[in-house]
């Protein structure tokens, strides 16, 4: 394969952002990337990259020049077959993007989700109560990943979508594979390939009308098809997006916020004193940890970025995680600070593709944080966090915590 050659004068990097080392600890590389320039050429992959807030934000909001329909991974739909039919949301541009987006945005709007608020709040309270029942002398040591950050979303989300019980164990590895597959065909994609066709087949079956509980979110996508908002061919692919993008992301975001509060005890105290800060705490953790680290766009025509021209058809890698800690935009960017307004972070993206499920994620997170704040006086690390490596996600394998009961 011949890779594009960088134009002269463009800053170059021979580092591999998809190596185990940089996926495990991306922040030092992000700083080098931001300092190297507005646009940097990654020689290993023959792609352009942006790590500064201003450039990433500008590109995300310019869907005409930075298109998604050629694929948002390193490989190009114009030249290569995608491994699964493209997403009607993530991997589409207007006008094709419009109807699926508008339809799903309505289904996942705060207004439509209101019915789930009391259900998820009660589930969070029960979840925390059951967990804390194992405390000894008012203290509980846990790995928060299996017991909270995976267990709670898996307790509420598949039921809300209306999935059958059997086979739900496919959800996490399927999502993990999709997020790996946006990156290069490296050791992670290779390892994840085992079983992916079974995961994908199960996911595809759950998108069928007759499989879904008639009261759930999945059924409301089919109802949109019945109204004519979307076609019957579009409905299952939109449900596939919910199942792909709605599980791993939320789980790793919940790990991010618990990791953040465990390492900032005064911020946990502030949240306990003012539980309405739960929403801000979640967004500040998304800013700080950026569970979705990167997405590609493709230059539509020769695209000028500051002093650089990215030629038509070239891939541009946007480092959301780097933009979210750019000191050119954020004061003390590496601190978890509930005194700041984190809005404008690009952890959910920005522009027409900004996360359509963000209200679902916020609702899960605020329900859980409020339930914990009511019962847990202090949270501290009980061992080092262990990362789960993924080409796109900043993910957590293990998060040992010590909880002191209120
Ligand atoms: C973050 C996202 C991620 C993975 C898959 C999809 C969307 C999809 N958004 O639409 O399938």
Place of tokens 């679902």: 360
| Cα 337 to ligand 1 centroid, rounded to whole Å | 29
pLDDT band for position 188 (cuts 50, 70, 90): very high
Closest ligand 1 atom to residue 175 Cα is 4
Residues framing ligand 1 (Cβ under 6 A): 87, 89-90, 178, 240-241, 244-245, 292
Q: How large is the average pLDDT for residues 166-194?
A: 97
Task: Ligand 1, residue 89: give the atom nearest the CA.
Answer: 10
Looking at residue 347, the DSSP 8-state letter turns out to be B
Residues 139-149: what's their mean pLDDT? 98
Which pLDDT band, with edges at 50, 70 and 90, does 77 fall under? confident
**215 pLDDT exceeds 60?**
yes
**Which residue carries 């267990």 as its tokens?**
151
Kindly state the percentage of the chain with pLDDT values over 70. 98
Percent over 90 (pLDDT), the chain: 95
CATH, domain range 12-405: 1.10.630.10
Q: What pLDDT is stored for residue 100 in this prediction?
A: 98
Instruction: Give yes or no for residue 306 having a pLDDT over 80.
Output: yes
Is residue 109 classed as helix, strand or coil in its secondary structure?
coil
- SS3 for 292? strand
Three-state DSSP state, 47: strand
59 CA → ligand 1 middle, Å: 18
Domain ranges of the chain: 12-405
Q: Is the pLDDT score of 381 beyond 80?
A: yes
pLDDT band at 300 (very low <50, low <70, confident <90, very high): very high
Residue of the nearest CA to atom 9 in ligand 1? 245
Atom 2 in ligand 1: residue holding the nearest Cα: 245
Write down the pLDDT at residue 184: 97
Q: Which atom of ligand 1 is nearest to the CA of 349?
A: 1
What does the pLDDT read at residue 8?
59
Task: Please say whether the beta carbons of 370 and 283 come within 8 A.
Answer: no
What's the whole-number mean pLDDT along residues 143-157?
Answer: 98
Q: What is the Å distance from ligand 1's center to 244 Cα?
A: 6
- Assess whether pLDDT exceeds 80 at residue 322: yes
CB 401 within 8 A of CB 390: no
Q: How confident is the model at residue 76 (pLDDT cuts 50, 70, 90)?
A: confident
Mean pLDDT, residues 229-237: 98
pLDDT of residue 79: 85
**3-state DSSP of 178-220:** HHHHCCCCCHHHHHHCCCHHHHHHHHHHHCCHHHCCCCCHHHH
If you measure from the C-alpha of residue 203 to the centroid of ligand 1, how many angstroms do you get, rounded to a whole number? 14
- The DSSP letter of residue 147 is I
299 Cβ neighbours under 8 A, 6+ residues apart: 48, 65, 66, 67, 310, 311, 312, 313, 314, 315, 316
Indicate the pLDDT class of residue 152, thresholds 50, 70 and 90: very high
pLDDT exceeds 60 at position 142: yes
How far apart are the C-alpha atoms of 16 and 13, rounded to whole Å? 8
* pLDDT of 214 strictly over 90: yes
pLDDT at 240 over 70: yes
Sign of CA dihedral 180, 355, 372, 324: positive
Total-model pTM: 0.97
Taking the centre of ligand 1 as the mean of its atom positions, its distance from the CA of residue 25, in whole angstroms, is: 24
Rounded to the nearest integer, the mean pLDDT of the chain is 97
Q: Whose CA is nearest to atom 8 of ligand 1?
A: 241
The protein residue with its alpha carbon nearest to ligand 1, atom 10, reads 241
Q: Which of 69, 90, 180 to mutate to test the pocket of ligand 1 (most atoms within 8 A of CB)?
A: 90
The whole-angstrom separation of Cα 131 and Cα 258 is 15
Pocket test for ligand 1, best of 87, 101, 103, 177 (most atoms within 8 A of CB): 87
**In this model, does residue 3 exceed pLDDT 80?**
no
pLDDT score recorded for residue 129? 98
Ligand 1 atom nearest the C-alpha of 179 is 4
Cα–ligand 1 centroid distance for 180 (angstroms): 12
Burial of 82 (0-12, 13-18, 19+ CB in 10 A): middle
CA of 245 to the centre of ligand 1 (A): 5
Q: Which atom of ligand 1 is nearest to the CA of 178?
A: 4
Q: Whose CA is nearest to atom 1 of ligand 1?
A: 245
In which band, very low, low, confident or very high, does the pLDDT at 81 lie, cut at 50, 70 and 90? confident
Give residue-wise pLDDT tens across range 326-377: 999 999 999 999 999 999 999 999 999 999 999 999 999 999 999 999 999 9
pLDDT band at 153 (very low <50, low <70, confident <90, very high): very high
Mean pLDDT of 70-92: 93
Cβ distance 162 to 406 under 8 Å?
A: no
Distance 112 CA to ligand 1 centre (A): 21
Contacts of 351 (CB under 8 A, 6+ apart): 60, 61, 62, 63
- Residue 1 predicted with pLDDT over 60: no
pLDDT of residue 9: 78
Distance 175 CA to ligand 1 centre (A): 9
Which of 96, 183, 244 has the most ligand 1 atoms within 8 A of CB, as the residue to mutate? 244
pLDDT at 209 exceeding the cut of 60 = yes
Question: What is the whole-number distance in angstroms between the Cα of residue 357 and the centre of ligand 1?
Answer: 10
pLDDT tens-digit readout, 261-274: 999 999 999 999 99
Nearest CA to ligand 1 atom 4: 245
């Amino acid at each position: 394969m011949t890779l594009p050659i960088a134009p002269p004068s463009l800053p170059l990097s021979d580092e591999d952002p998809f190596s185990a080392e940089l996926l495990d600890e991306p922040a030092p590389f992000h700083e080098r990337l931001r300092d190297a320039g507005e646009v940097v050429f990654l020689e290993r992959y023959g792609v352009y990259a942006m790590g500064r807030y201003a450039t990433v934000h500008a590109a995300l909001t310019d869907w005409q020049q930075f298109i998604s329909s050629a694929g948002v991974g390193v490989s190009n739909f114009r030249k290569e077959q995608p491994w699964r039919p493209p997403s009607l949301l993530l991997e589409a541009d207007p006008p094709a993007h419009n109807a699926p987006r508008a339809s799903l945005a309505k289904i996942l709007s705060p207004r439509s989700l209101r019915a789930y608020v009391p259900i998820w709040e009660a589930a969070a309270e029960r979840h925390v109560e059951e967990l804390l029942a194992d405390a000894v002398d008012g203290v509980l040591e846990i790995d928060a990943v299996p017991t909270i950050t995976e267990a709670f979303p898996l307790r509420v989300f598949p039921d809300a979508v209306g999935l059958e019980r059997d086979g739900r164990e496919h959800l996490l590895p399927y999502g993990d594979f999709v997020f790996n597959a946006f990156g290069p065909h490296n050791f992670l994609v290779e390892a994840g390939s085992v079983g992916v066709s079974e995961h994908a087949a199960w996911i595809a079956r759950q998108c069928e009308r007759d499989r879904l509980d008639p009261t759930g979110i999945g059924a409301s996508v089919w109802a949109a098809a019945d109204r004519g908002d979307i076609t019957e061919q579009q409905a299952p692919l939109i449900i596939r997006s919910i199942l792909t993008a709605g599980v791993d992301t939320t789980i790793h975001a919940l790990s991010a916020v618990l990791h953040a509060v465990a390492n900032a005890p005064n911020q946990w105290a502030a949240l306990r004193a003012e539980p309405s800060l739960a929403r801000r705490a979640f967004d500040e953790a998304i800013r700080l940890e950026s569970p979705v680290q990167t997405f590609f766009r493709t230059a539509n025509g020769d695209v000028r970025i500051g002093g650089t021209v990215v030629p038509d058809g070239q891939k541009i890698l946007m480092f959301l995680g780097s933009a979210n800690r750019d000191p050119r935009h954020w004061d003390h960017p590496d601190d978890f600070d509930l005194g700041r307004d984190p809005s404008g972070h690009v952890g959910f993206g920005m522009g027409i593709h900004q996360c359509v499920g963000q209200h679902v994620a916020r609702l899960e997170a605020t329900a859980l944080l409020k339930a914990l704040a009511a019962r847990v006086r202090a949270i501290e690390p009980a061992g080092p966090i262990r990362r789960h490596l993924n080409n796109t996600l900043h993910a957590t394998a293990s998060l040992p915590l010590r909880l002191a009961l209120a």
